[in-house]
């Protein structure tokens, strides 16, 4: 479908109010279909959490447990994973722990982890890409006292941007096809929306919720903004950047000062990784008023402690084989197989190589986006060179373009049991690019 950019107003998904008791915050979420306006004037049928596209935002306090009862009123199997959550294996949304149509399941999240922009999304075995594409994702923000003590923009000036691509047919159908055939860019469920801001600082939590498209986000006027955090939480120090390369599943926490624009001005966020045939616009910020601003970006944000010395090293090769599937070390995922075993508390270095050859655009399918459950990692180096600003701090997804070798380090702590790691280009994980680590 054709559309005129910047006509829809960008919605901010509502924060769900919990039922509180002395032990936890409780939520009931229903997965059901809904008719939503992705492109102005067209109705699309999508799969949702609570009828919202994307789902409602959950705000969790560090150290306070959250219990979510998920009820599946869809006609497909589902399963919910808290991406970036340190969660016991039984509540991690393992691919084969699915919720049948008509059934429900309770997920317990301890939230014993630092402030970070997590997200929840579907993970049902071999259909996670279809389910996430159809609408099953939402933001889950963990906050803590350390973060709240910082003078960062907060409240209405702290805004999630959940960015993904889509193909919407002229009858409104949300159609799942290859990334290069998905020309519509959605922010919080609307195609190329506009967002009215005051001339002051905003904190933007940017999520790449696309199933397999990397974004290279910049302001059209080339202006700088400040990166303050990545997947796993705040950086130790802010970094000034002009672009943000985010692979499928990655997040960036940024502060943008719209005071540099006059009231009545506007600035477009663009995707420099758009294909030559695509419109690169993502959304427009319209500066509509002034507002007082006592926020600041402090020079020290958080303590990101060094990891202990690694005692185990492993190598993983990611490759696609047109006859067998997308592989990790030559294997397709088998939920009954343990691929690697480690002891609780072990620090490891993983060397991950994308063995697929580079190719001319459209080449989104040649990228990989490596993700681990349970453990956050640090990027040690990429092709022997220091990591980019967006790869500093705690991470749970790292981009691996064709030919690249990335070394990461993590400590397998918190819980024992079986957890998966996989490519977060979900067509790849659906196609077998997933494996199991058992923590004993």
Closest distance to ligand C2O from the beta carbon of 70 (Å): 16
Closest distance to ligand C2O from the beta carbon of 5 (Å): 29
Contacts of 116 (CB under 8 A, 6+ apart): 84, 141, 142, 229, 231, 232, 233, 394
Spatial separation of the C-alpha atoms in residues 4 and 215, rounded to whole Å? 21
Spatial separation of the C-alpha atoms in residues 106 and 423, rounded to whole Å? 26
Choice between 91 and 373, CB closer to ligand C2O: 373
Instruction: Return the closest-CA partner of residue 59 out of 129, 12, 127.
Output: 12
Closest distance to ligand C2O from the beta carbon of 419 (Å): 9
Judging by DSSP bridges, how do beta strands 174-175 and 158-168 pair with one another?
A: antiparallel
Spatial separation of the C-alpha atoms in residues 122 and 83, rounded to whole Å? 10
Choice between 117 and 249, CB closer to ligand C2O: 249
Would you give the binding string for ligand C2O spanning residues 202-241, x where CB under 6 A is met?
A: ----------------------------------------
Choice between 121 and 395, CB closer to ligand C2O: 121
Spatial separation of the C-alpha atoms in residues 399 and 354, rounded to whole Å? 10
Q: Among 86, 201, 373, 399, which residue sits at the site for ligand C2O (rule: CB under 6 A)?
A: 373
Spatial separation of the C-alpha atoms in residues 30 and 103, rounded to whole Å? 10
Spatial separation of the C-alpha atoms in residues 57 and 159, rounded to whole Å? 11
Closest distance to ligand C2O from the beta carbon of 143 (Å): 20
**In the beta sheet, which residues pair with residue 137?**
121
| Residue 249 near ligand C2O by CB under 6 A | yes
Choice between 234 and 435, CB closer to ligand C2O: 435
Q: Among 105, 123, 218, 399, which residue sits at the site for ligand C2O (rule: CB under 6 A)?
A: 123
| Residue 94 near ligand C2O by CB under 6 A | no
The encoded tokens of residue 98 equal 């699915």
Q: SS3 string of 154-184?
A: CHHHEEEEEEEEEEECCCCCEECCCHHHCCE
Residues in contact with ligand C2O, counted by CB under 6 A, come to a total of 10
Choice between 238 and 247, CB closer to ligand C2O: 247
Instruction: Return the closest-CA partner of residue 56 out of 12, 8, 6, 4.
Output: 12
Choice between 136 and 166, CB closer to ligand C2O: 136
Choice between 144 and 231, CB closer to ligand C2O: 231
Q: Among 62, 182, 194, 371, which residue sits at the site for ligand C2O (rule: CB under 6 A)?
A: 371
* Cα three-residue angle 309-313-316, rounded to 5 degrees: 140
The encoded tokens of residue 31 equal 């997965």
* Cα three-residue angle 246-422-332, rounded to 5 degrees: 140
Closest distance to ligand C2O from the beta carbon of 276 (Å): 30
Choice between 247 and 387, CB closer to ligand C2O: 247
| Residue 201 near ligand C2O by CB under 6 A | no
Choice between 215 and 285, CB closer to ligand C2O: 215
Please, which of residues 411-430 interact with ligand C2O by CB under 6 A?
420, 422, 424
Choice between 109 and 202, CB closer to ligand C2O: 109
Please, which of residues 295-354 interact with ligand C2O by CB under 6 A?
none
| Residue 81 near ligand C2O by CB under 6 A | yes
Spatial separation of the C-alpha atoms in residues 237 and 150, rounded to whole Å? 12
Closest distance to ligand C2O from the beta carbon of 188 (Å): 18
Q: Among 16, 66, 79, 83, which residue sits at the site for ligand C2O (rule: CB under 6 A)?
A: 83
**In the beta sheet, which residues pair with residue 418?**
438
Q: Among 86, 121, 164, 194, which residue sits at the site for ligand C2O (rule: CB under 6 A)?
A: 121
Tokens 């397998």 belong to 412
**In the beta sheet, which residues pair with residue 204?**
159, 254
Closest distance to ligand C2O from the beta carbon of 149 (Å): 29
Q: List contacts with ligand C2O (CB under 6 A).
A: 81, 83, 121, 123, 249, 371, 373, 420, 422, 424
């Amino acid at each position: 479908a054709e559309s005129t950019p910047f006509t829809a107003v960008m919605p901010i998904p509502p924060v769900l109010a919990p039922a509180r008791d002395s032990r936890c915050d409780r939520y009931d979420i229903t997965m059901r279909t809904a008719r939503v306006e992705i492109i102005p004037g067209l109705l699309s049928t999508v799969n949702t959490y609570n009828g919202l596209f994307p789902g409602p935002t959950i705000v969790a306090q560090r150290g306070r447990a959250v219990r979510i009862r998920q009820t599946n009123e869809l006609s497909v199997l589902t399963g919910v994973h808290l991406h970036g959550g340190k969660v016991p294996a039984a509540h991690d949304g393992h691919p084969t722990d699915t919720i049948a149509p008509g059934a429900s399941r309770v997920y317990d999240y301890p939230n014993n982890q630092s402030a970070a922009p997590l997200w929840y999304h579907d993970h049902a075995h071999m259909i996670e890409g279809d389910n996430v594409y159809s609408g099953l994702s939402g933001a889950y923000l963990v906050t803590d006292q350390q973060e709240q003590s910082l003078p960062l923009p907060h409240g209405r000036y702290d805004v999630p941007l959940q960015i993904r691509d889509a193909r919407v047919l002229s009858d409104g159908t949300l159609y799942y096809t290859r990334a290069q055939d998905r020309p519509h860019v959605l922010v919080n469920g609307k195609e190329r929306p506009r967002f009215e801001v005051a001339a002051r600082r905003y904190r933007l939590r940017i999520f790449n919720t696309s199933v397999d498209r990397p974004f290279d986000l910049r302001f059209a006027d080339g202006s700088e903004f400040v990166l303050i955090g990545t997947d796993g939480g705040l950086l130790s120090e802010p970094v000034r950047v002009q672009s943000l390369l985010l692979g499928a599943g990655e997040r960036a926490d940024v502060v943008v000062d719209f005071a540099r624009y006059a009231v009545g001005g506007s600035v477009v966020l663009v995707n420099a990784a758009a294909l030559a045939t695509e419109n690169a616009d993502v959304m427009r910020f319209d500066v509509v008023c002034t507002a007082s601003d006592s926020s600041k970006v402090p020079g020290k944000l958080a303590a990101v402690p060094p990891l202990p010395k690694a005692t185990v090293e492993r190598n993983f090769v990611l490759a696609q084989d047109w006859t067998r599937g997308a592989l990790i070390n030559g294997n397709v995922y088998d939920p009954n197989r343990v691929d690697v075993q480690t002891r609780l508390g072990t620090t490891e270095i993983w060397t991950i190589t994308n063995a697929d050859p580079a190719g001319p655009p459209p080449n989104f399918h040649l990228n990989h986006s490596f993700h681990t459950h349970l453990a956050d990692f640090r990027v040690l180096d990429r092709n022997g060179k220091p990591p980019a600003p967006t790869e500093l701090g705690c991470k749970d997804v790292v981009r691996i373009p064709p030919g690249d070798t990335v070394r990461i380090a993590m400590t397998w702590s918190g819980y024992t049991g079986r957890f998966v790691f996989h490519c977060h280009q979900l067509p790849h994980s659906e196609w077998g690019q997933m494996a199991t680590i058992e923590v004993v």
